[in-house]
């Protein structure tokens, strides 16, 4: 029987992250990272199971070459740390989960052996001694939370030497004893500075050399961070943004600069992108840009929150629009401005009423 590959990426720091941060955002961050790791599967590995903070992949009856396996490992680390950098750069949420997500790390455990399978409710899953050994290798004595571990059986299969060295990998020997059985392995700490992280288009701040076209302010009996959550978490949007049939967005994603959502109103789809603008150091800001509103080429709406006390804050709504066509300018004066003002007022009062019910 041909040997199979067992491959387990495991997010380091998961338990502390979940236990010490806001549960909903921490769950979304972990979900995003797991999806990123699944998408970084370059070897057509089969996903056996999602194990909380880890993924259990396998490749039945085939062991990739040394070069291909190391490329797969590098692909996982590159995707993982690229996404953490995106979360860091484009963060708008002040919560502890979003602030500390870049501290998460990754380890990858790879093992080889003959696989057996078990079927549970029609699902066929790897089973047996090699599966147990791969999971035990996740609990090892390596003094790091950011590494690649390749078991000795797998290292022999792909002819990986303990002296192998490259820009990213520098392997050394390790061993641990589990249930009176010693398991040997090679491992390499991974320096993320040696990864070629993916480049994302920067989200620039919107700058306006003029006053907003419309403004509205109101004091809320709510902390600034909680008010920010109600505004940026789209699951709450339907509770206070009236007149919208439905909202379409990625449910397992924390809102950040560049994220998108769609408002469906009377069957029409209005696309919005999260943006930002400069504010005072103590203020929080969330903005939305759309090009789908009638009478305007671009419409920007900003929610600017100023803390007042631990349990109260001031919300200022600002609306900017850009209109190039003379006809559109006329329509804006006659119809558009009145409509925008009404929508702004409805949003403010709807949000205040929702806060009062929570």
CATH numeric code, 214-357 = 3.30.530.20
pLDDT at 179: 86
pLDDT at 201: 66
Write out the E strands in the chain. 4-12, 46-51, 54-59, 105-113, 116-120, 123-127, 147-151, 172-178, 181-189, 214-220, 246-248, 260-265, 268-275, 284-290, 298-309, 312-322
pLDDT at 120: 80
pLDDT at 113: 92
| Long-range contacts of the stretch 248-253 (C-beta < 8 A, 24+) | 252/27, 252/28, 252/31, 252/32, 252/35, 253/28, 253/32
- What are the extents of the domains in the chain? 4-194, 214-357
CATH numeric code, 4-194 = 3.30.70.1230
The string of DSSP letters for 256-306 reads -TT-EEEEEETTEEEEEEEE-----TT-EEEEEEES-STT-SEEEEEEEEE
Mean pLDDT of each 10-residue bin along the chain, 358 residues long: 91 85 86 96 95 94 96 98 93 89 96 89 86 95 96 97 95 93 96 91 80 96 95 92 90 90 92 94 95 91 97 97 86 81 92 92
Q: How many CA atoms, within 13 angstroms, populate the side-chain half-sphere of residue 8?
A: 27
């Amino acid at each position: 029987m041909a040997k199979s590959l067992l491959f387990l990426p495991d997010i380091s720091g998961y338990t502390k992250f979940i236990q010490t941060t806001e549960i909903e955002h921490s769950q979304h961050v972990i979900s995003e990272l797991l999806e990123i790791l699944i998408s970084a599967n370059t070897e057509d590995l089969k996903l056996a199971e999602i194990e909380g903070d880890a993924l259990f992949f396998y490749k039945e009856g085939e062991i990739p070459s040394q070069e291909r396996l190391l490329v797969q490992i590098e692909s996982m680390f590159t995707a993982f740390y690229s996404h953490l950098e995106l979360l860091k750069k484009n963060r708008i949420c002040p919560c502890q989960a979003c602030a500390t997500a870049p501290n998460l790390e990754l380890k990858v455990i790879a093992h080889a052996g003959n696989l057996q399978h078990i079927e549970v409710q029609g699902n066929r899953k790897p089973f047996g001694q090699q599966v147990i050994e791969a999971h035990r290798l996740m609990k090892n004595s390596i003094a790091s939370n950011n590494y690649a571990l390749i078991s000795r059986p797998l290292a022999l299969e792909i002819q990986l030497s303990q002296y192998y060295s490259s820009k990213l990998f520098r392997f050394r020997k390790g061993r641990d004893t589990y249930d009176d059985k010693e398991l040997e392995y090679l491992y390499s700490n991974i320096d993320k500075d040696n990864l070629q992280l993916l480049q994302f288009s920067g989200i620039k701040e919107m700058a306006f050399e003029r006053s907003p076209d419309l403004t509205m302010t109101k004091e809320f009996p709510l902390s600034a961070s909680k008010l920010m959550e109600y505004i940026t978490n789209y699951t709450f949007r339907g509770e206070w943004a009236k007149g919208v049939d439905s909202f379409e967005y990625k449910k397992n994603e924390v809102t950040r600069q560049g994220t998108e959502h769609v408002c469906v109103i009377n069957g029409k789809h209005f696309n919005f992108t999260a943006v930002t603008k400069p504010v005072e150091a103590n203020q929080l800001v969330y903005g939305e840009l759309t090009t789908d509103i009638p009478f305007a080429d671009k419409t920007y709406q900003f929610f600017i929150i100023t803390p007042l006390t631990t349990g109260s804050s001031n919300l200022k709504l600002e609306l900017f629009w850009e209109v190039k066509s003379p006809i559109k300018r006329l329509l804006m004066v006659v119809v558009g401005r009145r409509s925008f003002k009404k929508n702004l007022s409805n949003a403010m009062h709807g949000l205040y009423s929702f806060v009062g019910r929570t």
